[in-house]
Amino acid sequence: MRDHMRSSERPERYSASSRNAQVGDQGELWFAAQLPLGWVWQPPRRDLGKDGLIVIQDGSDLHNLEFSVQVKTSKQPRVKKGWVVKSGLSRSSVLYWFASPLPTLVVAVDIVAQRAWYAWHLDLFESPAEVVQSKQHTVTIRIPQENELTEPAWERIRRRLRHHFESLHIAIGEAKVSARLLPTVNTLARNLGNLLKLSKSPLPANAASMSDQEGVSILIEHLEHRSIICSVERLLSAIHPESPAARHIRVWIETYEATVLEAFPRFHLLPETGPYGPELELAFAPKKVLGTRHRLIEAGLDMIRLLTADTSGRVSDSKPIDSSPTSEPNSSHQFGERLTIKLSTIGEVSLARVSVAQLGFLEGATTKEIIGAERDADKDGQSAPFSNGRARQLGLDLCPPDVGPELRLSYGDQPLDERLYIAMRPISTPDGEPRVFVLEHKVDGLSLDAARARPDDMWNPADVFVFCLRS
């Protein structure tokens, strides 16, 4: 009888769960339909606490920038004293909002009335400590009722995003900060690559039963997380402490460390330097480790995306590069060596490895001849940066900056001595030199670095670039 009662209850319980999921899907679809023209909804690769990513492709000064979205849908949201109250949110999901340096727009949707209210995640709490130090499993948030998602609200959202990315660009553009930028990205990419490998290894049931080899793996996981935190702290020390960028990065560090501590409770007791002997006590919560590994890797990737975001030279009348090929529209298919990776910004992309000689330059070529230059113009004389290179004429596109770090993470079997240059808009460095990412496999291991790419710099016929292939 007891078993019969349990089985009879299951359909009702699952039915309620299914109904909630259906309401949630309706809310996400409704929100996506409200997006301004050119704002593209990208679903997450994993369910880590955010419903999607918005990539702005509208040709404005925000073109190619992105932010995260969390949509909470109900049929009758609770309103109390001017606030839309949402309770029962998973604390770990809210922590992930703070663990990502990208701004997160939290939206409460009333699916019956077809209305919604919004707030940025940093505005929902006085301090992330409210969430980090909480012992509760769930969190309640309050969104101002005056923040209704109407047409004028999108302009306020635009202003907030503009302020966020402009302040970031100003902070990172300072000489003492940008000098640390590429070393920080390189360190993060290396650490995240190692964490990705470790995440594929099975966990022991507990610390008492783990073998010496498993203990070494757990120790390495501790050290990789500490290296990530320390590298971002070094970058933060060069940023003006009162700047919005410093606040964002400081919050990221606090939340990242808190998330690590949930999985590894003795993380803060790890000695700063080795050697680490058998007397070292390691502790970990297996379920927490499994639940946070991919969250932490995604948080690290978000930091790389933030630091490599192309916000330079954005003005109100700037235009995106015309993506239509000038000749031979299908000629990109002649290139045989392909790579495929997934980017959160645009999803899966196909890449081509193309040598300078394959582009038709048998005696080498300049950067300007290969990928174009900042001062390129279209046939009408209008500014069209990086539109006149040979690659564009052959149907090849420049890569977003995050292709470099993402490819470094996924291309673990890169042949020894291979060097790949990322065809991208060069990033300025403090000495005034434009640089592009370079992936290399040397005797001492895999690396992500940067190579100088002045418009008139010469490249050898055998140098290999990675381009995006047009779909």
Q: Looking at the predicted structure, is the pLDDT value of residue 10 above 60?
A: no
Tell me the C-alpha distance between 263 and 289, whole Å.
5
User: Strand 338-343 vs strand 104-110: parallel, antiparallel, or unpaired?
Assistant: unpaired
Would you state the pLDDT for residue 338? 64
198 residue type, one letter: L
Q: What is the mean pLDDT of residues 186-206?
A: 84
464 residue type, one letter: V
- 356 vs 181, more confident: 356
> Regarding the domain delimited by 177-308, which CATH topology (the fold level of the hierarchy) does it fall under?
Four Helix Bundle (Hemerythrin (Met), subunit A) (1.20.120)
17-170 shares its CATH topology with 177-308: no
Confidence label for 84 from pLDDT (cuts 50, 70 and 90): very high
Tell me the C-alpha distance between 77 and 147, whole Å.
14
* Cβ-proximal residues to 316 (8 Å cutoff; 6+ apart), any chain: 60, 61
**Which pTM does this prediction carry?**
0.66
Token digits of residue 266? 């003795």
Q: Which residues pair with 39 in a beta bridge?
A: 56
What are the residue boundaries of the structural domains of the chain, listed by start?
Answer: 17-170, 177-308, 331-469
Q: Which residues pair with 377 in a beta bridge?
A: 383
Q: CB-hemisphere CA count at 13 Å for 340?
A: 4
127 residue type, one letter: S
Tell me the three state secondary structure of residue 456.
Answer: coil
- 113 vs 57, more confident: 113
pLDDT tens-digit series, residues 17-59: 566 778 888 999 999 999 999 898 887 655 555 778 888 888 8
Q: Looking at the predicted structure, is the pLDDT value of residue 387 above 70?
A: yes
Tell me the C-alpha distance between 75 and 285, whole Å.
37
What is the torsion angle, in degrees rounded to the nearest 10, for the CA atoms of residue 273, residue 276, residue 282 and residue 284? 70
Q: In Å, how far are 242, 350, 400, 418 from 422, measured between CA atoms?
A: 34, 13, 9, 13
pLDDT tens-digit series, residues 133-183: 888 889 999 999 999 999 999 999 999 998 888 888 777 777 567 777 778
How many residues comprise the chain?
A: 471
Tell me the C-alpha distance between 60 and 121, whole Å.
24
Say which DSSP state 400 is in.
Answer: P
* CATH number belonging to domain 17-170: 3.40.1350.10
pLDDT tens-digit series, residues 220-231: 999 999 999 999
pLDDT tens-digit series, residues 406-440: 888 888 888 888 899 999 999 877 667 899 999 99
155 residue type, one letter: E
